[in-house]
Structure 1
Amino acid sequence: MINTSPRRRHRVWSALAAVATVGLTATTALVLSSGTAQAASTLGASAAESGRYFGAAVAGNRLSEAGYANTLAAEFNSVVAENAMKWDATEPNPGQFNFSGGDQIVNWAQARNMKVRGHTLVWHAQQPGWVQNLTGQNLRNAMLNHIAGVANHYEGKVFAWDVVNEAFEWDGSRRQSNLQTQLGNGWIEEAFRAADAADPNARLCYNDYGTDAINSKSTAIYNMVRDFKARGVPIDCVGFQSHLASNENLSSYQANLQRFADLGVAVEITELDVGQGSGQAATYETVTRACMAVSRCTGITVWGVTDKYSWRDDNPLLFDGNYQKKPAYHSVLAALNNGNPGGGGDSGQLRGAGSNRCLDVPNQSTTNGTQLQIYDCWTGANQQWTYANGEISVYSGTTRKCLDASGGGTANGTAAIIWSCHGGANQRWNVNSNGSITNAASGLCLDVAGASTANGAKVQLWSCTGAANQRWSFV
């Protein structure tokens, strides 16, 4: 065991982070188990059953329209501001911030138990005029101050940020924006580090369009993310805008999502819309199925609620101008209802609420029967857990092991161990919204023995009490 590594950022978003839409019961939205999702009747409710979100981009001035607001509240469990959080809207003059538009959307969403994505901290477009003529260190300071001001303001209210938006060209080269030409290749990393410092609990994403296939652009971004992960740059997810045509070639879409997920980041569909045409419903379904098939695909956002307010003129959304459900809506809902459980940011360290230490395999052992403990959090593979399809596993490939109730025990004090994955009930787990992790066979909670907070304290199963030694969060 190495215990001298620096502490990682204090992520506290839960493994599943499921939130209820209006009318969605807590048990439906917040408790996941293996098996097929229930047949929910709204997009947000269905997504929540697998620990995901289904959101929409929102314009605050539309919230006073009954059809718009009612459809948004009934069907979605997440929102993102179309424009209200961009640089020109939030900092029209140097150091003078205006959060009124973003606050309106956040307050509206919070009143309805909806999640909020943040979009976007740094982008070459929609910069206020005073930024566009800055050079060198003046531009760098402006960027860093802007990130700090906006991310600090929304800390704890936004679960994820598009930190950097659209920084690559189609051929995989860097976009020659003022940010690139003035600040050089390191500016994206600088932005992520600044966002991490400003809001260490938010999920930090890179977001771009034209990355739906395995192509030059997506591969360049993949290489950047791989480099960032190798060097400890704080990046947590990649956003795929997915502005698509009805006949889009999506033959490599799922594989593309999966290769990014395999780097250890979440993937999110962030701005989905599909042009009208005979293939519209099928294209929406393909995208949704791809997300549901990738355990680290945390959710989908469509870029708008209704066709009549879309930025496109080809009726690309799920509701028509009269807020009627289109065939694409039904295709998406069916794909959500038939998808795999276990999505939703379900990977990383499992941090104990009582101890602030991580679920750990002692001495990086891969031996069946090794009892788990808590230990100071570090970056080793023996603290990297993945929750998918009811299993919580550590390591990968031939050494992959599952969290297991020793001997199939169902009594208090049963040791929590690692064992070769076999799909038995003693290796099936429910990750719950209150932070508890319960065994499918026994119903007992994953528990730190004696409520200890010390390094090396053993982990076991025990009757659920709701105490801090039984609460965990993916970090």
Structure 2
Amino acid sequence: MEHSTRAVIRPALARRSRTTALLLVTGLVASVLSLAAAGPAGAAGATLGAAAAEKGRYFGTAVAAGRLGDSTYSGLLQREFDMVTAENEMKIDATEPNQNQFSYGNADRIVNLARSQGKRVRGHTLAWHSQQPGWMQNMSGSALRSAMLNHVTKVATYYAGKIYAWDVVNEAFQDGSSGARRDSNLQRTGNDWIEAAFRAARTADPNAKLCYNDYNTDDWSHAKTQAVYRMVQDFKSRGVPIDCVGFQSHFNAQSPVPSNYQTTLQNFANLGVDVQITELDIEGSGSAQASNYERVVNACLAVTRCAGITVWGIRDTDSWRSYGTPLLFDGSGNKKAAYTSVLNALNAGSNPQPGVIDPSAWYVLVNRNSGKALDVYGLATNDGGRITQWTRNSGANQQWQFLDSGSGYYRVKSRHSGKVLDVPNSSTADGAAIQQWTDHSGVNQQFRAVESGGYVRLVNRNSNKAVEIQGSSTADGANVVQYGDTGGNNQQWQLVRVG
């Protein structure tokens, strides 16, 4: 998210003795609104998005531009969800109706609305055998391959920096027991077409997560699941840029939630990719439907690299299979038993443990008190750039790598700027600002990660002070400083792996 227009926050009053004054003068309204929306730190989330965020995950929905004028629909979208997928508006026929003539109007409506509400966006989809415009359906061979790669490049470039994850390729394997690729016009351009699409997407948008997305891959024993697994395994072994695998997870009585669903998610995650439940809907009603939704949520919570869940629509009447009443809200927007089971499952789940810090990984650091992310203010790249908290958007300026300094200490490097967290002038004072600075491996740039019940406290090697949000603020742009290690919620950070 672009931060250059943020108002500059005045230096906070001296902490502890003047905390009350600080909150009254600069943060009372923000604090009240935040508490009303999310409750106190560690409390149950009141909405799907808030409850999922407490567990380091997202909870999203598919959105149709044509329904945004419906106040019930848009109200539920704003209140409940923190990730958005365009239902049809970013598919090939919508974004390139005529060859090399691109149309983004309805997709932009969805993307811009989501970002204005602090939500992230999943891009769906760049390359698919279905919903191709007529001009593409009539192409083949090298001309089709070139047109497909041009589409991937142009669309991913247009939205670069605005998309959390792309479904780069959708539904490329056929159903049944063969484990074969789908016989599509794209497949007939050569078996390497999927790899080519992923490489083009990485070049066009280096910071978006790149996913392969498919249906009927939920059961670990199925040939289609195994075939996708082998492809991902091959891509990872050869350095093909793939970051995540999407499971559509459309369930009904004929295709129920498999008993090995969690095993499937975990086995893919073990390949070193995130797993995402991308198009969840479960036909049914009442307690049976609620129980099935609960099983899916619990499976995701049990797999550390399950990044989140997206349901494919908001109300039953919005669903592509409305006859099966498969969603969490009825046609009038009322919460169903399935909604309650999902919310309760999210709130009952444990916070993910940080485990062993992986120096090759990228993490978003989410503050336990505020739920906001550690952030390089204003997308700065200069020495001395401010470090603040900001609503989580998982942009490169909110992604951090732990560089091992030995003896249990790390330098914490920004993906955006390449600079590391630094205490200016090696200060040992309470309230000293945390800034970014060129990495020189100084002790004022080294922090030990102290486990704190599923969170970590970052304690500076030079000052022995902990990194905290000044004044326990919950406001965007609040300063990040060092202070004596008290173990408070505003000194605890959740490490959410994003790459």
Asked whether the two chains share a fold, i.e. TM above 0.5, the reply is yes
Aligned to 1:175: 182
Aligned to 2:90: 85
Aligned to 1:438: 458
Alignment partner of 2:127 out of 122, 126, 148? 122
Residues in 1 aligned to 2:33 and 2:251: alpha-carbon distance in whole angstroms: 30
Residues in 1 aligned to 2:52 and 2:414: alpha-carbon distance in whole angstroms: 34
Aligned to 1:234: 241
Aligned to 2:81: 76
User: Contact 2:448/2:458 (CA < 8 Å) preserved in 1?
Assistant: no
**2:301 aligned with 1:292, yes or no?**
yes
TM-fit CA distance, 1:110 = 1.4
Alignment partner of 1:188 out of 191, 194, 212? 194
TM-fit CA distance, 1:249 = 4.2
Instruction: Summarize the Cα distance change of 1:472–1:224 in structure 2 as closer, same or farther, 3 Å threshold.
Output: closer
Cα deviations across residues 12-31 of structure 1 (Å, max 9, x unaligned)? xxxxxxxxxxx973998799
User: Contact 1:51/1:343 (CA < 8 Å) preserved in 2?
Assistant: no
Aligned to 1:218: 225
Cα deviations across residues 177-203 of structure 1 (Å, max 9, x unaligned)? 00001x211000000000000100101
Letter in 2 for 1:241: Q
Instruction: Summarize the Cα distance change of 1:415–1:66 in structure 2 as closer, same or farther, 3 Å threshold.
Output: closer
TM-align CA RMSD: 3.5
- Percentage of pairs with the same residue: 50
Instruction: Summarize the Cα distance change of 1:86–1:26 in structure 2 as closer, same or farther, 3 Å threshold.
Output: farther
**2:320 aligned with 1:315, yes or no?**
no
User: Contact 2:447/2:458 (CA < 8 Å) preserved in 1?
Assistant: no
Residues in 2 aligned to 1:357 and 1:105: alpha-carbon distance in whole angstroms: 28
Instruction: Summarize the Cα distance change of 1:428–1:188 in structure 2 as closer, same or farther, 3 Å threshold.
Output: same
Alignment partner of 1:148 out of 142, 153, 174? 153
**2:211 aligned with 1:205, yes or no?**
yes
User: Contact 1:151/1:195 (CA < 8 Å) preserved in 2?
Assistant: yes
TM-fit CA distance, 1:430 = 4.0
How many positions carry a matched residue from both structures?
Answer: 377
Secondary structure of the structure 2 residue equivalent to 1:444: strand
Cα deviations across residues 223-242 of structure 1 (Å, max 9, x unaligned)? 11111111111100000000
User: Contact 2:168/2:201 (CA < 8 Å) preserved in 1?
Assistant: yes
Letter in 2 for 1:359: F
TM-fit CA distance, 1:439 = 5.7
Instruction: Summarize the Cα distance change of 1:371–1:77 in structure 2 as closer, same or farther, 3 Å threshold.
Output: closer
Alignment partner of 1:59 out of 52, 56, 64? 64
Equivalent residues in 2 for 1:278-289, closer than 5 Å: 279-289=288-298
TM-fit CA distance, 1:350 = 4.0
Secondary structure of the structure 1 residue equivalent to 2:186: helix
Letter in 2 for 1:106: V
Residues in 1 aligned to 2:215 and 2:229: alpha-carbon distance in whole angstroms: 14
TM-fit CA distance, 1:428 = 5.8
**2:51 aligned with 1:39, yes or no?**
no
Alignment partner of 1:349 out of 349, 355, 361? 361
Secondary structure of the structure 2 residue equivalent to 1:25: helix
Residues in 1 aligned to 2:400 and 2:338: alpha-carbon distance in whole angstroms: 45
TM-fit CA distance, 1:250 = 2.1
User: Contact 1:163/1:195 (CA < 8 Å) preserved in 2?
Assistant: yes
TM-fit CA distance, 1:358 = 5.0
Cα deviations across residues 66-105 of structure 1 (Å, max 9, x unaligned)? 1111111111111100000000000000100000010000
Residues in 1 aligned to 2:172 and 2:91: alpha-carbon distance in whole angstroms: 15
Alignment gaps of 5+ in structure 1: 1-22, 378-411, 419-424, 432-436, 447-460, 465-470
Residues in 2 aligned to 1:264 and 1:324: alpha-carbon distance in whole angstroms: 39
Cα deviations across residues 451-474 of structure 1 (Å, max 9, x unaligned)? xxxxxxxxxx9659xxxxxx9995
Residues in 2 aligned to 1:428 and 1:27: alpha-carbon distance in whole angstroms: 25
Instruction: Summarize the Cα distance change of 1:144–1:241 in structure 2 as closer, same or farther, 3 Å threshold.
Output: same
Residues in 1 aligned to 2:344 and 2:171: alpha-carbon distance in whole angstroms: 31
User: Contact 1:29/1:49 (CA < 8 Å) preserved in 2?
Assistant: no
Residues in 1 aligned to 2:112 and 2:135: alpha-carbon distance in whole angstroms: 29
User: Contact 1:427/1:439 (CA < 8 Å) preserved in 2?
Assistant: no
Instruction: Summarize the Cα distance change of 1:31–1:237 in structure 2 as closer, same or farther, 3 Å threshold.
Output: farther
Residues in 2 aligned to 1:202 and 1:413: alpha-carbon distance in whole angstroms: 32
Residues in 2 aligned to 1:272 and 1:357: alpha-carbon distance in whole angstroms: 30
Alignment partner of 1:274 out of 255, 273, 282? 282
**2:104 aligned with 1:99, yes or no?**
yes
Instruction: Summarize the Cα distance change of 1:376–1:39 in structure 2 as closer, same or farther, 3 Å threshold.
Output: closer
TM-score (norm 2): 0.68
User: Contact 1:50/1:342 (CA < 8 Å) preserved in 2?
Assistant: yes
Residues in 2 aligned to 1:72 and 1:144: alpha-carbon distance in whole angstroms: 33
Residues in 2 aligned to 1:93 and 1:103: alpha-carbon distance in whole angstroms: 18
Residues in 1 aligned to 2:69 and 2:412: alpha-carbon distance in whole angstroms: 50
TM-fit CA distance, 1:291 = 0.5
Residues in 1 aligned to 2:191 and 2:305: alpha-carbon distance in whole angstroms: 28
User: Contact 1:80/1:117 (CA < 8 Å) preserved in 2?
Assistant: yes
User: Contact 1:297/1:343 (CA < 8 Å) preserved in 2?
Assistant: no
Cα deviations across residues 204-233 of structure 1 (Å, max 9, x unaligned)? 000000011102111111111111111111
TM-fit CA distance, 1:173 = 0.8
Alignment partner of 2:347 out of 327, 337, 355? 337
Aligned to 1:381: none
User: Contact 1:38/1:46 (CA < 8 Å) preserved in 2?
Assistant: no
User: Contact 1:29/1:48 (CA < 8 Å) preserved in 2?
Assistant: no
Cα deviations across residues 257-286 of structure 1 (Å, max 9, x unaligned)? 011111111110000000114521111000
Residues in 2 aligned to 1:316 and 1:100: alpha-carbon distance in whole angstroms: 29
Secondary structure of the structure 1 residue equivalent to 2:183: coil
User: Contact 2:352/2:454 (CA < 8 Å) preserved in 1?
Assistant: no
Residues in 2 aligned to 1:24 and 1:78: alpha-carbon distance in whole angstroms: 21
Instruction: Summarize the Cα distance change of 1:372–1:443 in structure 2 as closer, same or farther, 3 Å threshold.
Output: closer
Residues in 1 aligned to 2:65 and 2:259: alpha-carbon distance in whole angstroms: 36
Secondary structure of the structure 1 residue equivalent to 2:112: helix
TM-fit CA distance, 1:314 = 0.8
TM-fit CA distance, 1:443 = 6.8
Aligned to 1:359: 402
Letter in 1 for 2:249: S
Residues in 1 aligned to 2:115 and 2:210: alpha-carbon distance in whole angstroms: 20
Q: Which has the higher contact order (CA 8 A, sep 6+)?
A: 1
TM-fit CA distance, 1:38 = 2.6
